[in-house]
Homo-oligomer: A and B are copies of this chain.
Amino acid sequence: MVTKASIKKVKKSVQPLLVVGTVAVDSVETPFGKRDECFGGSASYFSYSASFFTPVRLVAVVGKDFPSQYRKVLEEKNINLEGLQIHPTGKTFRWKGKYDFDLNNAQTLETHLNVLLQFDPVVKGGNQVDYLFLANFDPTLQMKVLKQVERPRVKLVALDTMNFWIQNKRKDLKTVIEHVDLIVLNDGETRQLTGENNLIKAARKIRDMGPDIIVVKKGEHGVLLFYRDQFFALPAFPLDSVFDPTGAGDTFAGGMMGYIAKQNSVTFDTLKRAVAYGSVMASFTVEKFSLDRLRELGGSDIDERLSEFRALTKF
């Protein structure tokens, strides 16, 4: 007999938003402090941020040394970790970076890919994914993930990348870009990918490569959203104390995709609010090291900051 309770259970086990990315151990130095061996990684920031809006499933790899308390951080937000592979011998991916007083640019001091070198992402239940986020990663692996989800069932595929792949794996990257609906880049990457200085012209060029939706992050200068022929511009939420920018971009993407998945709609209006929510989530992350600030967030904090944000952009 199908009871209400069993229907509810079935619904709950569906995880409409999937992220494939990295789970890492970071060491970070900013002008305001230093933190060794803290919790990081694109999929960690993304999924924690998105989980405020919708259930999230994570696909990533860690080593045997991955601290159990970091796993618990993701579990406290009910993030589905069935896709988190644990390598039997390797070590977890480690990143060490430093920010100078101009907090816009991270200086990478050390990168130890470790288990990432053998990462073979496996998406179980690829026919159950509604929304997919391909975090910054080798484009050949991103393509491998994409092949495991069922098109056209999946409603929106979003992609992040970085200067390294644009420069060194341009051809593979372009193949992935052809197959996604949304791409999120910072302004430098947008210019690098297109060779076009004007961001509006650059966005048009990217649209011609495939995606309908282009999100250009400009750090302290806000976000531009291009959706087909429509355009939306949002300044950044003003912060007088950016403490640590690590994870801001992934937190932004998590808030954005989480909101889209929650609304289960890809209209221009939803997208506009989604980038606003993404900005709000990122504005929290940068106030403390690692996921510390996100972990403190209470029920109304997010919506309160969104209201504040709306007020200071309205004229």
Contacts and interface: CB of A to CB of B under 8 A. Distances in A.
Interface of A: 101-102, 197-201, 204, 218, 220-222, 224, 231-236, 238-242, 269, 272-273, 275-276, 310, 312-315
Contacts of A269: 315
B315 A201 contact: no
5 contacts: A102-B197, A221-B222, A222-B233, A232-B312, A234-B235
A233 B236 contact: yes
B200 A238 contact: yes
Contact of A198 (B199, B240, B315): B240
Number of copies of this chain that the complex holds:
2
Nearest to A276: B315
B200 A315 contact: no
A312 B233 contact: yes
Nearest to A233: B235
Given A233-B236, A235-B222, A240-B201, A313 B313 contact: yes
B238 A235 contact: no
A315 B221 CA distance: 17
A13 to B, nearest CB: 33
Given A198-B240, A233-B238, A315 B222 contact: no
Contact of A315 (B218, B238, B239, B272): B272
Given A221-B221, A224-B238, A233-B313, 17 more contacts: A101-B197, A102-B197, A198-B240, A198-B241, A199-B220, A200-B239, A218-B221, A222-B233, A222-B235, A224-B235, A231-B312, A235-B235, A269-B315, A272-B314, A272-B315, A273-B315, A313-B313
Contacts of A314: 272, 314
A245 to B, nearest CB: 12
A232 B201 contact: no
Given A221-B218, A222-B221, A222-B222, A234 B198 contact: no
A315 B233 CA distance: 10
Q: Lowest 9 CB-CB distances: which A-B pairs, in order?
A: A233-B235, A221-B221, A200-B240, A272-B315, A276-B315, A201-B240, A273-B315, A101-B197, A235-B235
B232 A315 contact: yes
A14 to B, nearest CB: 29
A186 to B, nearest CB: 13
A144 to B, nearest CB: 35
A201 B220 CA distance: 13
A217 to B, nearest CB: 12
Contacts of A241: 198
Nearest to A272: B315
Contacts of A201: 240
Nearest to A103: B197
